[in-house]
Amino acid sequence: MSSESHERILPAGELHEFVVRLWRCAGSAEAEARLIADHLVSANLAGHDSHGVGMIPTYIRSIAGGHLQINQHARLTKDAGAVLTFDGQKAFGQVAAREAIDAGIERAQRLGLAAVGLHNSHHIGRIGFWAESCARAGLVSFHFVNVTGDPMVAPFGGSDRRFGTNPFCAIFPRPGRAPLLLDFATSAIAFGKTRVAWHKGVPVQDNALIDAAGQATNDPAVMHEAPYGSLLPFGLHKGYALAAMCEILGGALSGGRTTYTETLQTSHDAIFNCMTTIILDPQAFDAPQMQAEAEAFVEWVKASPQSGDAAIQVPGEWEESNRRHRERNGIAIDRSSWNEILNAALEAGVPADELARYR
């Protein structure tokens, strides 16, 4: 572990065991604790620190507020063959989504395709994690997600928050290679990334935030200190339109709720997601040249002359590069975030003397 004052660096394995221990002390069963740790540490390894272990304090506060339910499971509410609907029952999203996606994978392998609706689940985290599960099974998947009743993003042409960061994700498996993975929030920047920037005391990019008066700002504090501002959608009207469709396809179609006055949450720690997932078996298509065509396109794109120093990357390559680097060099966590995690661990029941070596 680094002794530098501005960050802590931990090997992924050590961080994983720390997270398992934390959730065991909080009351999670062993299997649940490991599912949560698998997901959070995987997000850090992929470079998505906004969805990694920095979420732990939020989860602890959500439990204390009576929102997130420990040791709960998804419940199948309707089985229509190729279409499955699950109620997450306010369980850890890392548990509820695991159960729903596994059921969808089994059904798609049997039928060639499956649609899975999951609603009323606590935060399901980095959506790419679930897509990668599908790709490991040789399957294509598309994911539409909303954040019910916790608006953070202003609509195109609006000046206050009206919907969530509503991620969209798609994946294409490539045998023997990393899959092509598209995974992004429909806001210009993920809320969790504003949290990381706020802890680090650094500004965010241009055209990502407005303050409470609707004026452009780079200060991430507007998302964490009253009076609150809003995130902006990426790509102007295009990002807004995709966010709106994720709200409907992810929220309403899954059997869940969309965001409006009657569904507004009373706490920002009560993060509830709905997700509609489409899973396809590519072998069910009459496309014998599918992989060759995909690789030909990848080679064609990457052969473009570079416009600068950065290499051309295909979707998912950034995450793979981060994994290789962080598996080799450890996961760095800024000091402010790490101290907040340690305080949450203490609240979860990890003994103070056990935490002393991490301070």
Look at residue 96 and tell me whether its pLDDT is greater than 70: yes
The predicted structure's pLDDT at residue 192: 83
Q: What is the pLDDT of residue 2?
A: 43
Radius of gyration (Cα) for the chain, nearest Å? Answer: 20
pLDDT, position 193:
87
| CA 166 – CA 188 distance, rounded (Å) | 11
Average pLDDT over residues 141-153: 97
275: pLDDT strictly greater than 80: yes
Cα 144 to Cα 224: distance, rounded to the nearest angstrom: 26
Does 7-285+313-358 carry CATH code 3.30.1370.60? yes
Task: Please list the alpha-helical segments (H only) found in 112-250.
Answer: 127-136, 191-200, 237-246
- Taking only the tens place, the pLDDT of each residue in 72-85 is 999 999 999 999 99
Q: What is the mean pLDDT of residues 215-223?
A: 97
pLDDT at position 335:
93
Chain CA centroid to CA 90, Å: 17
Distance CA 346, CA 349 (A): 5
Question: What average pLDDT does range 284-294 have in this prediction?
Answer: 98
Give the predicted TM-score (pTM) of the model.
0.94
Q: What does the pLDDT read at residue 15?
A: 98
What is the residue extent of each domain of the chain? 7-285+313-358
pLDDT of residue 84: 98
Q: How far is CA 206 from the centre of its chain?
A: 23
Average pLDDT, the chain: 96
Angle at 33 between CA 29 and CA 35, to 5 degrees: 120
